[in-house]
Structure 1
Amino acid sequence: MNLFPIMTSSAIVSAVRRSQRSLISAVALGVVAAALTACGSTKPQPAPLENLTPTQKVSVLWSQRIGSADGFTNLAVTGTTVAWATTDGQVVSLDATTGATRWRGQVDAKVAAGVGSDGRYAAVVTTENELVVMDQGKVLWRDRQPGRVITAPLVAGERVFVQGVDRSVRAYDVKDGRWLWQYQRPGSDPLSLSAPGLLQPYRNTLAVGQGSRLVGLDPTRGSVLFDLSLGTPRGTNEVERLADLVGPGARVGDSICVRAYQLSVGCVDMSRGRLVWTKPQTGAAAVGASASLVVGADSADRLSAWRTDSGDVRWRVDRFQYRGLSAPTVWGELVAVADHDGYLHVLSAADGRTVARISLDNTLSAAPVLIDNILIVATRSGTVYGLRAN
């Protein structure tokens, strides 16, 4: 079984240094946002919606209105259940096939990062930097974090892992909140992107992003198993060289495929701790992947698809330019990606043709997930949808 046994160790980083780095991260985000948006008069106009005669039927299997989510959120999948958290502190677990509520809880605070869940236990971090852990909706314990957190905690192997904006990682016992270890890569980048990072499990390895590097950690001790680069950032200053790994990564068998912000897309063989391939591409959203295809949008919302095994280009489309695309999801023989206007575009995975389009009630608040071929999406209006391609 791929469960993490419990063992403690220590690796403490100065709280002062973490606070300074968190402040720098926030400043960097403002600079980056200003550079990306430029001035209002010259901002590129979104491409108009294409005329479409659907050739694929996509239907809403179920939907449930829960509560608004205007920050960074995550859909946490375990078996046939999915957990989600709203900005006002609601945490729910839903049956992916019916949308029925399995359990519901309230953390009594606004949520800044969430949710992580293994089906039973769930964890979020509040806007006051408090980690809150629940057992089927009932609050178990709370712990104040030393800095800002916007990446959803990870719950796995009876542990809770928390990644700060400075990309430090802390581990706790899920049942009693006992602190286990902390890790931060020596000589890490002075700036970090104020957006969710990479933090996810692979068997008995914890994959974490540290700048443009993917580090495999032993989850029992926080020790390094491997450390791989997805490219060397280039630029005249630290902001231009900012290249954090963007979460969530796309798990495909023994590989995790991931984006390095404004730098590259690549796949890592986690079983051997080696880089399979990397391709240059600017962009800010996570990628989607299947056994045959990796899909991601660049900074102008041009979609590219690469072969999972080699990184060779399969197809590219530019008809969604500047529409604010979400992370895509490879949905069997289809690719699903949403835009800022709340449209979900469904493409053929074979050649990138648009085969369907549906309108949601808002833009997405989290990367879509797939459970038993049901696409689960959550919007900023607080609606969670279960969609089926017929």
Structure 2
Amino acid sequence: MKASGINATGWARSCVLAVSACVLAACTGGGAKPKPVELSPNAALIGVRQAWSLKIGAVNFPLDVKVNGERITLASSDGTLVGLESTGGREIWRAKVSEPLAAGVGSDGKTAAVVTRSNMLIALRDGKELWRQRIPAQVYTAPLVAGERVFVLAADRSVSAFDGATGRKLWAQQRPGDALVLREAGVIRAVGDTLIVGLSGRMVGLNPLSGSVRWEVPIATARGANDVERLIDLVGSVSREGTVVCARAFQVAVGCVDTAKGTLVWSTPSNGVVGVHGNERSVFGVEADGKILAWSRVNGDRQWVSERLKYRAMTAPLAVGRSVAVGDDIGLIHLLSVEDGSPLNRLTTDGSAIAATPVLAGDTLVAVTRNGGVFGFRPE
């Protein structure tokens, strides 16, 4: 398995207008969408096989597939939640909340949390509901479950903390809202004893016990003549190595922050709408036109660019071993070399768009499609 390259170790408030990344891309792109670059024959330079698959409901919200060890927690738009073990795809539990979802899933391996379209935060344990609390704003980012607490980043740029066992509200941090917010997942995660959130184009470090601000670092600064051009939310997945966290500011830049010092390491212009990922050497990202780039983690210098998937709607990338995995809008997972972006293999699912950034659980690469297919791939 080591030779396969699949695994590094073996394989808003109601008055705020929310808009999706795809709508903004259409508004700012101008004209018809260019025809995608034709795919070359599959190289199949590394051995990968489909190990299992299953079905959940359709996925039409910004799903975050949560991995805790070899356990996976995911959900569908209709409110179905499933806990799986990654090796064989066995269901550990399955539950359904009372209404469709707007954000999810957060999980620490014990407690799972989602937010419904009516702004209801719901926590479950082993598939059984623990509690629910109403959030006073729309939520598009999966809750973060960590340290016996549940943290929520809302579209009005409020951050709230709840007791994981009881749902009691512990604190809330509120920032001034902007005229537009993205109807896409933002950034919220724990790094050491600091809660990291994306607020506009800034990465902000909060005290998770009180919500007080420890530091703020701008990755990008709002510019432009209208609200669309000034929209610079931090989006999607991030890349963390030690205390350095790298993230994308929507359509403007990619940058890295030293969260121990609260200082900017580097920032470079980049026109993309999905998050980033990386390894100890590189940060990988997908541009709005489908180009895939690698930047030096040390200083942000460009290492390579691949145009083989240009004009395809791509997920955020996943760095795994010697491969970068990205999903597209026709249900393919492309495995590219971390060294130069050259193709290593191409995996098929059910033909519908990949709905979430692929994840790695143990030795299993997991992809979820818009039609609700869940696929586990393993090294041969």
Bin the TM-score by the shorter chain: over 0.9
Tell me, yes or no, if structure 1 residue 184 matches structure 2 residue 174.
yes
Shift of 1:37: 5.2
- Which residue is 1:77 aligned to? 67
Shift of 1:171: 1.0
Tell me, yes or no, if structure 1 residue 44 matches structure 2 residue 34.
yes
Tell me, yes or no, if structure 1 residue 197 matches structure 2 residue 192.
no
Instruction: Give the alignment's Cα RMSD to 1 decimal.
Output: 1.8
Shift of 1:128: 1.4
Q: What is the SS of the residue equivalent to 2:14?
A: helix
Alignment of 1:350-365 (within 5 A): 350-361=339-350, 362-365=352-355
Alignment of 1:1-390 (within 5 A): 18-21=13-16, 24-26=17-19, 32-36=24-28, 38-39=30-31, 42-185=32-175, 187=176, 189-361=178-350, 362-390=352-380
Q: Which segments of structure 1 move beyond 4 Å, counting only runs of 4 or more? A: 28-31
Shift of 1:78: 1.4
Separation in structure 2 between the aligned mates of residue 183 and residue 77 of structure 1, nearest angstrom:
27
Shift of 1:99: 1.4
Shift of 1:200: 1.0
Conserved in 2, the CA contact under 8 Å of 1:68 and 1:88? Answer: yes
Conserved in 2, the CA contact under 8 Å of 1:171 and 1:180? Answer: yes
Shift of 1:134: 0.7
Shift of 1:374: 2.3
Shift of 1:34: 4.2
Q: 1:374 to 1:47 in 2, by over 3 A?
A: same
Conserved in 1, the CA contact under 8 Å of 2:332 and 2:354? Answer: no
Q: 1:199 to 1:18 in 2, by over 3 A?
A: same
- Which residue is 1:8 aligned to? none
Conserved in 2, the CA contact under 8 Å of 1:197 and 1:244? Answer: yes
Q: 1:29 to 1:183 in 2, by over 3 A?
A: same
Conserved in 1, the CA contact under 8 Å of 2:198 and 2:204? Answer: yes
Separation in structure 2 between the aligned mates of residue 231 and residue 112 of structure 1, nearest angstrom:
27
For structure 2, the 5+ residue unaligned runs are: 1-11
Q: What is the SS of the residue equivalent to 1:20?
A: coil
- Which residue is 1:13 aligned to? none
For normalisation by structure 1, the TM-score amounts to: 0.90
Shift of 1:52: 3.3
Separation in structure 2 between the aligned mates of residue 309 and residue 374 of structure 1, nearest angstrom:
29
Identical counterparts, % of pairs = 42
How many pairs does the alignment contain? 368
Conserved in 2, the CA contact under 8 Å of 1:257 and 1:266? Answer: yes
Residues 213-236 of structure 1: per-residue CA shift (max 9 Å, x gap) = 000111110001110000223212
Residues 262-284 of structure 1: per-residue CA shift (max 9 Å, x gap) = 01111112222221111110110
Q: What is the SS of the residue equivalent to 2:181?
A: coil
Separation in structure 2 between the aligned mates of residue 75 and residue 208 of structure 1, nearest angstrom:
19
Shift of 1:373: 3.7
